Structure 1
Amino acid sequence: MSSLLAFSAGNATDCLPFVAEGHHVGFVRWDVLKTLKDFPNVFTFHSHCVELNQNLKTYEERSWRMAETLEVMRQKYNFPALRGWRNEVCMGLLAPINFPIVAVVKNHKLLCLVFSGLFGIRQYGVDINGYVNDPDLGFCMWLQQRSFTKPTWPGRWDSMAAGGLTSGQGILESVCKEAAEEASIPSHILNASLRPSGSVSFFYEDERGLFPQTEFVYDLELPLDFMPVNADGEVECFQLFPLHEILEKIHSSDFKTTSCPVVVDFLVRHGVITSENQPDLPQLVEMLHSPVHVLFDSISHGKELQVQVVEENSASLSPSPLVVTTCNSTESGNHA
Structure 2
Amino acid sequence: MTGDPSPSRPPTLVVGGGGLLGRHVRTALERSGTPVRMVSVPWDDPAAAREVLRSELTSFVGSSPDGRINIAWCAGAGVVATPADELDTEVALFRDVLADLRSALRPTTRLAFFFASSAGGVYAGSADPPFTELSEPRPLVAYGTAKLAMEEALTAFCTETGSVALLGRITNLYGPGQKLSKPQGLVSQLCLAQLRGTPLPVWVSFDTIRDYLYVGDCAEMIVDALDGLHEHARRSGSNTVVKILAAGTGVTLSAVIGEINRIFRRRARLRIPGAGSPGQVRDLRVRTVVWPELGHRARTPFAVGVRRTADDIALAYAAGTSAHRHQHLPTHVSEVSIR
TM-score of the two chains, using structure 2 as the length reference: 0.30
**Greater percentage in strand:** 1
Higher normalized helix content (fraction of residues): 2
| Higher RCO (CA-CA < 8 Å; seq separation 6+) | 1
